[in-house]
Structure 1
Amino acid sequence: MKIHIAKTPSDLESFYPLLTELRTHLTYENFLDTYHHAHKNDQYELVGFFEEETVIALIGYRVLYDFVRGRHLYIDDLITSETVRSQGIGARILEFAEERAKELKCTGGLRLCAGIENTDGIKFYEKNGWKARALAFVKRI
């Protein structure tokens, strides 16, 4: 499996269709705008995993600091193409994230949020050694 960090407009264009399987609300323009702001302001990285020339999975992450965990790798986005699910690729992406966190000296480990309704995702994370430690609250304004 080839791994490639988004660096060019062409990379982003090739990653967009798969990301919309996870983020169905995104228009291409909104995707580009959000990516550029997150990359510039938070060093957000979007990484594609390829089989031959086809993007089969993506992970988007950034390094955060807080008083609870210190420096940690936060996973914003993780998607595996429906065509290759249940083949261990998601687990390999989580291993990639762990290695990346070590390289980036994230002594606070890794963190992500999964929607309460995302029962399949929650089972996947638990199966891969992740523990639910908090509820995330949101309030729209």
Structure 2
Amino acid sequence: MKVAELTTKDQWLEAFPIMKQLRTHLDIASYVSLVAEATSKDSYRMFALYDQQEIVAIVGFKPMITLYYGRFVWVCDLVTDNACRSKGYGEYLLNYVQTWATDNEYESIALSSGIQRHQAHRFYEEKMDYEKVSYVFKSK
């Protein structure tokens, strides 16, 4: 297995079919536009996990600093290809992000997960030992 940062439009396009499984509301044009803007203006980084030279999972994150969390990494997107679930790929990528955070002097990792995603919550809490610390609210 290999993790590689995706930095070009062609790489983002290669990742789109898997990202679309998580971000179902995005079409290809809006996806590319948002990734381009987020990488250039908001320190967003996207990494793919390859197994047998095929993308099997993707993580997108950005380093942040807030008064609440201090220096931390916010995981914006984490998705494993539906055909490749339960093979440890999500765990592998989150561990990669943890190593990246530690190497770059960020203290912790935070993320939000949709209310309906019960399996994901079990994964974060039981497998990855993350704790539920808040609710996320969004204006309409």
Q: Which residue of 2 aligns with 1:17?
A: 17
Is structure 2 residue 125 aligned with structure 1 residue 126? yes
Determine helix, strand or coil for the equivalent of 1:14: helix
Determine helix, strand or coil for the equivalent of 2:71: strand
Q: Report if aligned partners of 2:49, 2:89 keep a CA contact under 8 Å in 1.
A: no
- AA aligned to 2:123 is F
Deviation at 1:5, TM superposition (A): 0.5
Q: Residues 95-106 of structure 1 correspond to what in structure 2 (within 5 A)?
A: 95-106=95-106
CA RMSD of aligned residues (A): 0.9
Task: Write the distance in 2 (CA, Å) between the matches of 1:5 and 1:48.
Answer: 6
Deviation at 1:59, TM superposition (A): 0.1
TM-score by length of 1: 0.95
Q: Which residue of 1 aligns with 2:44?
A: 44
Q: Which runs of 5+ in 1 are unaligned?
A: none
Q: Which residue of 2 aligns with 1:65?
A: 65
Structure 1's consecutive aligned runs of 4 or more residues displaced over 4 angstroms after TM superposition are: none
Q: Report if aligned partners of 1:42, 1:63 keep a CA contact under 8 Å in 2.
A: no
Task: Write the distance in 2 (CA, Å) between the matches of 1:118 and 1:66.
Answer: 26
Q: Which runs of 5+ in 2 are unaligned?
A: none
Q: Which residue of 2 aligns with 1:56?
A: 56
- AA aligned to 1:53 is Q
Deviates more, 1:5-14 or 1:16-25: 5-14
Q: Give the number of equivalent residue pairs.
A: 139
Q: Which residue of 1 aligns with 2:116?
A: 117
Deviation at 1:53, TM superposition (A): 2.4
Task: Write the distance in 1 (CA, Å) between the matches of 2:103 and 2:112.
Answer: 22
TM-score by length of 2: 0.96
Task: Write the distance in 2 (CA, Å) between the matches of 1:95 and 1:110.
Answer: 10
Determine helix, strand or coil for the equivalent of 1:74: strand
Deviation at 1:104, TM superposition (A): 1.7
Partner deviation per Cα, 1:85-123 (whole Å, 9 max, x = no partner):
11111111111110011122102x110001111111101
Q: Which residue of 1 aligns with 2:86?
A: 86
- AA aligned to 1:40 is S
